[in-house]
Amino acid sequence: MSSNRPTISDIARAAGVSPSTVSRALNNHPTIPETTREQIRLLARQMNYRVDTRARNFRLQRSQTVATLFPFQGASRRQISDPFYLEMLGAITDELDKRGYDSLIARVPAESTDWCERYILDKRVDGILMIDRALDDAGIRALNALDARFVIWCGPVEGAACATVACDSRVTGRDAVLHLAAQGRHKIGFIGGFQRMVETDLRRQGYLQGMHEAGLPVNSDLMLFTDFSAEAAAHAVPLLLKREPKLDAIFACSDFMAIACMQVLQGMGRAVPGDISVMGHDDIALASQTSPRLTTIRQPIQQGGRLMVQSLFEQFEGAPPRQIVLPHELIVRESA
């Protein structure tokens, strides 16, 4: 059965030029005079011509798709509905759409490399954006071995042969603790995400550095690791109070967890910040809407998502991977 869909050859016959000239004109090639390009574009519009992207991508060995992947650790499966994830995804998908790319979104196990072959060797995607990485990440080694193009949302990692974009979480963690200490808090608890993921570990290092600089003793009992979920953070609060009844501050590794901590404390009759200060991380949109409003570390989430896509496309064009450190800001509101 023949198709009524116009082809480049149809446009070429109508314009009295070769199909290769039409192809170059539609791709805005500078070797084709502007008047000829405009004539061919006009004919293409009149004939309702549309590029056969599947055929073009097949010829170029491209999928015109980028995967945004969320590694999870062990049995934990942090939900993509987490507000930080959603804000990051919004920025990424908007930027990909501007560049004519589709987005594939999935969670992948940090301990496995099967997904690397599935996405890269099967050519399902042209590149990968990862939100965080494991400390000992077999997936990253596999991606490098496959010569894949990828960018990771995480702070700078020494010796990492990969592109990264994010704030330096060692510094953000330190600044969070120093702010709490400046408010007169001495028993500061730490609630992290996945213990073997880079962003949690960097914030843990920052927490320890901040405690040291503030002259405060470190109590390992006041450091708990969860799965970044609100439920896990809520369960951690009573445990921290059991271990240290005089607890007077909590630094949570995400705003979502910090908000859950405030709700649990208020349900227990503890005033925030009167009895216990609560500090978050990220400055998601919800942070300024809570009661009390959340004091937090602001990461430029929108800018970060756009820069991840930009960094990936730089690699598509042959540029080497680079590590981009974003500025952060201490946002002082009412919770600490």
pLDDT at 78: 64
The model's pTM: 0.78
**pLDDT for the residue 2:** 40
The closest of 159, 125, 153 to 141, measured between CA atoms, is 159
pLDDT of 59 reads: 47
* H/E stretch holding 116: helix 114-116
Contact by Cβ (8 Å): 68, 119: no
Predicted local distance difference test score (pLDDT) of residue 246: 94
pLDDT of residue 58: 47
Q: Are 139 and 116 in contact (CB under 8 A)?
A: yes
Q: CA 321 → CA 83, 96, 142, 144, distances in Å?
A: 28, 19, 16, 11
Q: Identify the CA nearest to 307 among candidates 103, 206, 143, 165.
A: 165
Quick one: pLDDT at residue 230?
A: 84
Which two three-digit tokens encode residue 209?
Answer: 């550095």
Residue 205: what pLDDT? 96
**What percentage of the chain exceeds 90 in pLDDT?**
50
Return the pLDDT at 237.
Answer: 94
Q: Residue 99 has what pLDDT?
A: 85
- What is the model's pLDDT at position 12? 87
- Domains within the chain, CATH numbers bracketed: 8-51 (no CATH), 65-167+301-328 (3.40.50.2300), 169-298 (3.40.50.2300)
Residues of the chain with pLDDT under 50: 1-2, 58-60
Q: Roughly how many angstroms between the first and final C-alpha of the chain, as a whole number?
A: 70
Distances (CA, A) of 19 to 10, 13, 52, 55, 62: 8, 8, 15, 15, 22
What confidence score (pLDDT) does residue 76 get? 61
Instruction: Write down the pLDDT at residue 77.
Output: 58
